[in-house]
A and B are shown apart, each in its own frame.
Chain A
């Protein structure tokens, strides 16, 4: 059984640029969630994807967007990067039905630094 994999592991971007982060879900999992973890903080929910559609979103602006592909992998896109976007971006996969039915398992994350 393969776990959640994310790429790249580290990324440095300049303010105003755009970035794409990628996630492959754990084998058999059809739902992907993205979280942002600022230094010294708990992860914050960005959004969740199921059947290639967003079905839940946290308090993040529209410049945070995503995609899910037929193989359940996912991308997180962030436009017009700001310094405060510097964080660890975590992807978690699960089976549909929310965390109650299927505990979230996280990938190792992508460390994004915006300068």
Chain B
């Protein structure tokens, strides 16, 4: 069935370093890949997304890359700051454009140490 695998489950970096989180998806029809940041006790917040017609998207310190052939996509955070500490979820849109759902990965707990 539809599945999204996310690695690593935990990631600890020093402030100022880069962080990379990787996801693979199983449904070759997936065409939309968002990333959500969830702080403890709060809602998932959309931080960046990419559609299948592009290979890379960047927004300030955050970038996402997509490899449709290999069915994997990655989140890159540069110059990490303590406020980047949170759980990050990747997701893939599965289903047609008329009612697709998001399939989420298991999450990566990012800890940025000052």
Question: Do A and B belong to a common assembly?
Answer: yes
Interface residues of A in 40-98 (CB under 8 A from B): 40-45, 48, 50, 55-56, 58, 90, 96-98
Interface size class of A (residues with CB under 8 A): 20 to 34
Q: Tell me if A112 is interfacial: C-beta within 8 Å of chain B.
A: no
Further contacts, 14 of them, CB under 8 A, given A103-B46, A104-B102: A45-B101, A50-B99, A56-B95, A56-B101, A90-B44, A97-B98, A98-B95, A98-B97, A98-B99, A99-B34, A99-B93, A100-B100, A104-B34, A104-B46
Q: How many residues of B contact A (CB 8 A)?
A: 29
- Contact in complex: B31, A100 (CB < 8 Å): yes
A82 to B110, CA, bound (A): 32
Number of residue pairs across A and B with beta carbons under 8 Å? 73
> Which chain B residues have a beta carbon within 8 Å of chain A's beta carbons?
4, 6, 31-32, 34, 36, 42-46, 49, 51, 89, 91, 93, 95-107
- Say what secondary structure dominates the interface of chain B: strand
- Contact in complex: A44, B32 (CB < 8 Å): no
- Say what secondary structure dominates the interface of chain A: mixed
